[in-house]
Amino acid sequence: MAAPSRLLIRGGRVVNDDFSQVADVLVEDGVVRALGRDLLPPGGAHAGLRVIDAGGKLVLPGGIDTHTHLQFPFMGTRSVDDFHQGTKVKEEMKTLTQEKGVNSFKMFMAYKDLYMLRDPELYAAFSRCKEIGAIAQVHAENGDLISEGAKKMLALGITGPEGHELCRPEAVEAEATLRAITIASAVNCPLYIVHVMSKSAARVVADARRDGKVVYGEPIAASLGTDGTHYWNKEWHHAAHHVMGPPLRPDPSTPDYLMNLLANDDLTTTGTDNCTFNTCQKALGKDDFTKIPNGVNGVEDRMSVIWEKGVHCGKMDENRFVAVTSTNAAKIFNLYPRKGRIAVGSDADIVIWDPTSTRTISAKTHHQAVNFNIFEGMVCHGVPLVTISRGKVVYEAGVFNVTAGDGKYIPRKPFAEYIYKRIKQRDQTCTPTPVEREPYKGEVITLKSRG
Ligand code: URP
Ligand code: ZN
Ligand code: ZN
Ligand code: ZN
């Protein structure tokens, strides 16, 4: 039987980033057609219309995970959770932006001798981003210090996963974050700091925003939901499964701190940096932590972890939850209001959310390919009941209805107004001009040539 082309989500509390309202949502051909009270026409039969009762539940814009690595070839192996396509980003930034709809580029300050860019290269790349209307993203860690720190740890006989954190403490992340912001600011290019993992780096982003810099910080499910004490776990595989860069931080107050900053807009979006490796892949580094493939899970659990630690704990309300899991990303990456909002004309990417039910996260029950879950045992309030992607019910009552290739690539236009309005205005009004002077007419010494 063909899926009904129309859906009516009845009686739920529709939550956008600015306000919530009890309303019906009528979906036709993948798009929200109407929003309001009592949209069901009177009478019994409504051919081709499926009605979903959302009474007592929340109706949220679909989450936007700002940062994943699926089927990512990395550190000699490949992340196990897959994805239909990857992107090669080299010097063809302009072509990618103008012809392929790519409007963000990630630059690495870490991974020396592999991806690491030095300051002049960052300056050039940020300048290019600005010229083509893209947002520059950085992985902010000082790659030279990591390389020296790793040698030091190995020389001390520290070969286990704890060495991964010890060779790259918070200051290594904070220094690079400040350096990236300084360079972006010199270019007047908007900047997006991916995977903010530490209190120190988050403070750098917060200070820069208060100084008026156009910068956004992205904590991830891992940094909001767990911490780096796991690197000292006696089980090698347990510790190794937490290895990612920048590392989780041993200071156990980190997740709470990052959530506070996310709640008050010092930090802006949430990703996962989902980059999963099975134990046998992590074991490439069983005798040397520098060889452990870096990456953790998160894509399946992000919404629940943020609901639990953010909304259930009382740090943010349901509207801020929508802002940080969906709307802000849609604005920054220029998909708004097609994505990131439930409104007439928006794509019908919708989650029916039960804020009171709980679920326990476990690798035994998760739907990811990886054999470990860094949130193992966490009980989360906030459970998705129904997930709708462009009008199609793709998940309901524990059952998925998806086929590989169902996803759709959306080209993104450059010069997102949300970030570029201020940038363009600053170019017009804040560009320095020379002081007008009479030419100097006095004596000038002659330098001796050195031959
Ligand atoms: O450890 C991490 N973060 N793995 C994914 C690659 C990256 O740096 O984002
Ligand atoms: Zn990274
Ligand atoms: Zn374990
Ligand atoms: Zn990443």
3-state secondary structure 186-216: HHCCCEEEEEECCHHHHHHHHHHHHCCCCEE
Long-range Cβ contact pairs of 230-238 (< 8 A, separation 24 or more): 230/374, 231/160, 231/161, 231/162, 231/164, 231/165, 232/162, 236/160, 236/161, 236/286, 237/279, 237/282, 237/283, 237/372, 238/372
Q: Given ligand 1 and candidates 72, 106, 244, which is best to mutate, with the most ligand atoms within 8 Å of its CB? A: 244
Selection from 187, 235, 233, 184 nearest residue 205 by Cα:
184
Give the confidence band of 81 by pLDDT, cuts at 50, 70, 90.
Answer: confident
Beta carbons within 8 Å of 338's beta carbon, 6+ residues apart:
330, 345, 346, 347, 410
For tokens 């201020």, name the residue: 422
SS3 assignment, position 353: strand
* pLDDT bucket at 76, cuts 50 / 70 / 90: confident
| Secondary structure E strands in 338-391 | 350-360, 379-389
pLDDT of residue 75: 86
What whole-number percentage of the chain has pLDDT above 70? 96
Span of 149-153, 264-268, 378-382, 401-405 with lowest mean pLDDT: 401-405
Ligand closest to 168 (CA) is 1
The mean per-residue pLDDT over the stretch 348-359 comes to: 97
What's the mean pLDDT when you consider all of the chain?
95
pLDDT value of position 87: 34
Q: Which residues of 413-443 are buried (b: 16+ CB within 10 A; e: fewer)?
A: ebbbebbbeebeeeeeeeeeeeeeeeeeeee
| Residue 451 scores a pLDDT above 70 | no
Ligand closest to Cα of 74 equals 1
Regarding the beta carbon of 168 and ligand 1, being less than 6 Å apart is answered: no
Residue 449 is predicted with a pLDDT of 84
ipTM > 0.90 (yes/no): yes
Confidence of residue 450 (pLDDT cuts 50, 70, 90): confident
Q: What is the pLDDT of residue 317?
A: 98
Q: What is the mean pLDDT of residues 295-300?
A: 97
Is the pLDDT at 84 greater than 50? The verdict is no
pLDDT at 1 over 80: no
Ligand 1 neighbour 245 (Cβ under 6 A): yes
